[in-house]
């Protein structure tokens, strides 16, 4: 856990507050990827079999505002971790949270493990370093270290500033009369959105292999942010009629004419990733992994959870 003066355990409170789990099956340590000495200490103390490095400044838009910090954590944090493993002399299996953002301005459609990278944000550039340092440590020191190149994966636990959760929350708040309208960025961006629990299962499978390799984890479907709005608002009884283009696009409720969605350039990124769609063929063949939850069901899961 990152040391902080406020509570940040919201997403694990159900585990944290269970006396059968906390300090029996779940042990927490303070730590931060910007601090090598504590990484060494934790590693020596825990001597883990498997490490999942999911720690990051993971917001793409935010990375344009804090690029140096993003590199510090996402790029150098990964080498700190790998080097701590080497220094302590342990041989845990290491999973690196690589990302479809590496493909950025995509060189081919769909993207797979052989598609060249073209990162389009400080976040993606930092993750590019992390990707290659994992490959390098695997080859140089024979570490079991693998990259999972995961496409967007969502769930009710998604942070509130990422687009899926933001849309879902707004649709419900507007319906309940506690929010006026949804202000959104690029409606045309296309993403391959999957269901996070299934992606965690894939991460685990990646580390159960005999040989460390890199894998694309994706659904193989792509949808626009606009479609995500359509389906979410439909769940609470709105049918959106879109009008205008680009910065001037707006979405109105078909029945009442109420303004529901308005584009606001403050959410545009200096460089955007327009289209992501992954090909999870290798994961299917080697990991026996296949996504079950597709786009429509994902929206429903998130809306149901938020309504509760
Ligand atoms: O944006 C567009 C935005 O912030 C998705 C991270 O987990 O997945 C995530 O990165 C799309 C982009 O996720 C708003 O421009 C429009 O095209 O939900 P997002 P992301 O940037 O795709 C990858 C795999 C990661 O590795 C990352 O760590 O939606 N968009 N309007 C918006 N995005 C946001 N956040 N807010 C808007 O109002």
What average pLDDT does this structure show over 204-228?
Answer: 98
Cα-to-centroid distance, 18 and ligand 1 (Å)? 33
Cα-to-centroid distance, 222 and ligand 1 (Å)? 14
Structural tokens at position 151:
């496409």
pLDDT confidence band for 120 (50 / 70 / 90): very high
At 276 the pLDDT is 98
Pocket around ligand 1 at a 6 A CB cut-off: 58, 60-61, 99-101, 151-152, 161-164, 166, 184-186, 189, 191, 225, 267, 269, 272-273
The percentage of residues in the chain with a pLDDT greater than 90, rounded to a whole number, is 95
Q: Which residue has the tokens 């949804």?
A: 182
Question: Of 70, 78, 101, 137, which is the active-site residue?
Answer: 101
What average pLDDT does this structure show over 233-253?
Answer: 98
Please check whether residue 189 is in contact with residue 274, taking contact to mean a CB–CB distance below 8 angstroms.
yes
Residue nearest to atom 17 of ligand 1 (CA): 189
Q: Is 101 a catalytic residue?
A: yes
* pLDDT 10s digits, 286-303: 999 999 999 999 999 999
Structural tokens at position 252:
């109105």
Q: Is 99 a catalytic residue?
A: yes
At 273 the pLDDT is 98
pLDDT confidence band for 7 (50 / 70 / 90): confident
Residues 110-137, buried b or exposed e (16+ Cβ, 10 A)? bbbbebebebbbbbbbbbbbbbebbeeb
What average pLDDT does this structure show over 243-267?
Answer: 98
Cα-to-centroid distance, 66 and ligand 1 (Å)? 16
pLDDT confidence band for 88 (50 / 70 / 90): confident
At 179 the pLDDT is 98
Question: How many angstroms from the chain centroid is the CA of residue 128?
Answer: 15
Alpha helices in the chain (DSSP H): 13-16, 36-46, 60-65, 67-70, 77-88, 122-141, 163-175, 196-207, 225-235, 281-282, 295-307
Q: pTM higher than 0.75, yes or no?
A: yes
Among the listed ranges 5-14, 177-186, 269-278, which one has the minimum average pLDDT value? 5-14
Q: What is the mean pLDDT of the chain?
A: 97
With the most atoms of ligand 1 within 8 angstroms of its CB, the residue from 128, 162, 216 to mutate is: 162
pLDDT confidence band for 10 (50 / 70 / 90): confident
Question: Rounded to an integer, what distance in angstroms lies between the CA atom of residue 30 and that of residue 15?
Answer: 17
- pLDDT at residue 9 tops 90: no
Q: Is 238 a catalytic residue?
A: no
Counting atoms of ligand 1 from 1, which one is nearest the CA of 150?
A: 24
Counting atoms of ligand 1 from 1, which one is nearest the CA of 189?
A: 17
Give the residue with greater pLDDT, 290 vs 16. 290
At 256 the pLDDT is 98
Question: Of 70, 78, 99, 115, which is the active-site residue?
Answer: 99
Residue nearest to atom 27 of ligand 1 (CA): 58
* pLDDT 10s digits, 126-158: 999 999 999 999 999 999 999 999 999 999 999
- Provide the terminal-to-terminal Cα distance of the chain, rounded to the nearest Å: 28
Q: How far is CA 280 from CA 150, 179, 213, 228, in A?
A: 10, 38, 14, 22
At 135 the pLDDT is 98
Residues for the chain: how many in total?
A: 308
Which residue, among 281, 125, 295, 126, has the nearest Cα to 224 in the 3D structure? Answer: 295
Question: Of 70, 78, 115, 123, which is the active-site residue?
Answer: 123
- pLDDT at residue 230 tops 90: yes
At 298 the pLDDT is 98
Which residues lie across from 278 on neighbouring strands?
A: 111
pLDDT confidence band for 8 (50 / 70 / 90): confident
Which of helix, strand or coil describes residue 23? coil
């Amino acid at each position: 856990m990152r040391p902080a003066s406020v509570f940040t355990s919201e997403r694990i409170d159900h585990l944290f507050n269970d006396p059968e789990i906390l300090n029996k099956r779940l042990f927490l340590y303070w730590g931060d990827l910007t601090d090598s000495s504590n990484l060494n200490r934790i590693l020596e103390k825990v001597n883990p079999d498997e490490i999942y490095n999911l720690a990051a400044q993971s917001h793409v838009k935010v990375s344009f505002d804090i690029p140096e910090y993003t590199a510090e954590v996402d790029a150098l944090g990964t080498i700190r971790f790998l080097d701590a493993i080497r220094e302590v002399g342990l041989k845990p299996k290491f999973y690196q949270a690589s990302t479809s953002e590496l493909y950025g301005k995509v060189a081919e459609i769909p993207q797979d493990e052989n598609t060249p990278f073209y990162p389009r944000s400080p976040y993606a550039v930092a993750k590019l370093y992390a990707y290659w340092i994992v490959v390098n440590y695997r080859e140089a020191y024979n570490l079991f270290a693998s990259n999972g190149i995961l496409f967007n994966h969502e769930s009710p636990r998604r942070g509130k500033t990422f687009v899926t959760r933001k849309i879902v929350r707004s649709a419900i708040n507007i319906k309940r009369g506690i929010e006026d309208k949804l202000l959104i960025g690029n409606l045309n961006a296309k993403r391959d959105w999957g269901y996070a629990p299934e992606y965690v299962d894939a991460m685990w499978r990646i580390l159960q292999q005999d040989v460390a390799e890199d894998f694309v984890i994706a659904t193989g479907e792509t949808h626009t942010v606009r479609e995500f709005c359509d389906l979410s608002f439909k769940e609470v009884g709105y049918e959106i009629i879109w009008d205008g283009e680009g910065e001037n696009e707006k979405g109105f409720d078909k029945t009442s004419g109420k303004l529901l969605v308005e584009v606001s350039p403050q959410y545009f990124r200096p460089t955007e990733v327009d289209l992501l769609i992954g090909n999870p063929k290798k994961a299917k063949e080697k990991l026996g992994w296949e996504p079950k939850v597709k786009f429509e069901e994902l929206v429903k899961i998130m809306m149901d959870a938020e309504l509760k």
